[in-house]
Amino acid sequence: MIIVMPDADSSWYINSYDGKEKYEDFFIKEFMPSIEQSYRIKTQKRYRGIAGLSMGGYGTLIYSLKYPELFAAAAPLSAAVWDDSAVVNVKEDTWKNIFGQLYGRDLKGKERLNKAWYDNSILKIVENKTADDLKKVRYWIDCGDDDFLTKGNCLLHIALTEKQVPHEFRVRDGAHSWIYWRTGIIDALQFIGDSFHQH
């Protein structure tokens, strides 16, 4: 396989609420087509997987959920998945420095639960999709038991389980660290590779 790792900087792989940064559009409409024209690779969905860690795990879920016609498999590791209460309670400094540029600046408490947030909330997207739609991608979800993102990943597992969507869910010993990701990427790549095989 060919592995391509773009740097999304602080975009979180999505289009910002104010239209100033359109990373999602760039990735789907420009970056992927450019890579697939530049290299001798198969361009069908069944030969394409996506993976990432932390912010990249969030991007992995955003793209595989929004564009299931593009990916056979997705492997989010320690993905940044939050429920509404986590977003409502984010400290003001953190909101200003990280999330404000994505979902709306100077928002406090429940004001943050706006359209921009819900359009890009992993749990809300899963809630709004049919089980058949969710089954279009094979999911490998992996997050450490000591990771600060464990709750969101567990909620994602529960949401998929309630809709009877087959997926792999791993909670291993570890935190939000390179040791965790280095030991997890082998199984994740194996899972993606298996998805490419003829059945």
Q: Is the pLDDT of residue 75 over 60?
A: yes
Position 37 in a domain: no
Position 139 in a domain: yes
pLDDT at position 197 is 83
Q: Is the pLDDT of residue 151 over 80?
A: yes
Give CA 36 to chain center in angstroms: 21
Position 147 in a domain: yes
CATH number of the domain to which 178 belongs: 3.40.50.1820
Which domain covers residue 137, as residue numbers?
A: 42-82+121-196
pLDDT in tens, 26-62: 999 999 999 999 999 999 999 999 999 999 999 999 9
Domain count for the chain: 1
Residues contacting 167, CB < 8 A, separation 6+ = 138, 139, 140, 141, 157, 160
Average pLDDT, rounded, for the chain: 96
Position 72 in a domain: yes
Query: Which residue shows structure tokens 């789907």?
Result: 28
Return d(Cα 154, Cα 111) in angstroms, integer.
25
Return d(Cα 40, Cα 158) in angstroms, integer.
39
Tokens of 34: 């450019």
Position 192 in a domain: yes
Query: Which residue shows structure tokens 């038991």?
Result: 145
pLDDT at position 86 is 97
pTM for this model (two decimals): 0.96
Q: Are strands 49-53 and 138-142 parallel, antiparallel or unpaired?
A: unpaired
CB 135 within 8 A of CB 166: yes
Position 98 in a domain: no
Tokens of 163: 């809709």
Position 53 in a domain: yes
Whole-number CA gyration radius for the chain: 16
Position 92 in a domain: no
pLDDT in tens, 88-133: 999 999 999 999 999 999 999 999 999 999 999 999 999 999 999 9
